[in-house]
Amino acid sequence: MPSLYTSRTSWEEIERAPTFPILKGCSREYVLKGCLAIPTILVSLYIISISIAFINFCVNEAKWKANKITSYSVVIRYGIESGHFYSSFEEIVRDGKLVKGENVQPAIDYAFDEARSCIFIPALCRVEYNALYGYPMSIHKVDFDLGRVIELVDFSPTIKAI
């Protein structure tokens, strides 16, 4: 019994092969090249979206660090994509340490961690940053069946008296 892998097909044979009935006038070579182009385009778009998300994250994290805000108060809200918020509480941070709140770490540090995790899944995650201070104001993540939302509202930095 002859093996299926014993003969080799050259590009000339592919060009002489009959065309696909659906794609009248297109040789198999062009169809194969087209099939290779689609994944290449999709991977390129994914890399571009990751690059944009990474640059956006780095620029805003640098802006936050440049402002050197270590004391602030903020209201953090957790909810689902439909707009229903199921938890909301105020958090106060003094000199980088959590004074009042329900999280283990300060809300803005937590928000940056969540934003960092969004870099590699830009299609399932959307982050909005504060234009003045650079902290993540809103993070929308798609989880299994619900979209999860984290919002930081009523941000108020504490200015130290000199």
Give 77: exposed, middle or buried? Use CB within 10 Å, 0-12, 13-18, 19+: middle
Of 133, 118, 29, nearest to 71 by C-alpha is 133
* Encoded tokens for 151: 């919002």
For residue 113, the model assigns a pLDDT of 93
Q: What is the arithmetic mean of pLDDT over 65-87? A: 86
Q: What is the arithmetic mean of pLDDT over 16-44? A: 69
Structure confidence at residue 48 as a pLDDT band (50, 70, 90):
very high
Give the CA-trace dihedral at 80, 84, 86, 91, to 10 degrees.
Answer: 90
Q: How far apart are CA 153 and CA 140, in angstroms?
A: 15
pTM attached to this predicted model: 0.72
Give percent of the chain above pLDDT 90: 33
Domains of the chain, by residue range, sit at 39-157
Structure confidence at residue 31 as a pLDDT band (50, 70, 90):
low
Specify which residues 1 forms β-bridges with.
Answer: none
Q: How far apart are CA 23 and CA 11, in angstroms?
A: 19
| 95-153 pLDDT, tens digit each | 888 888 887 888 899 999 999 998 988 888 889 999 999 999 999 888 766 778 888 88
Average pLDDT, the chain: 81
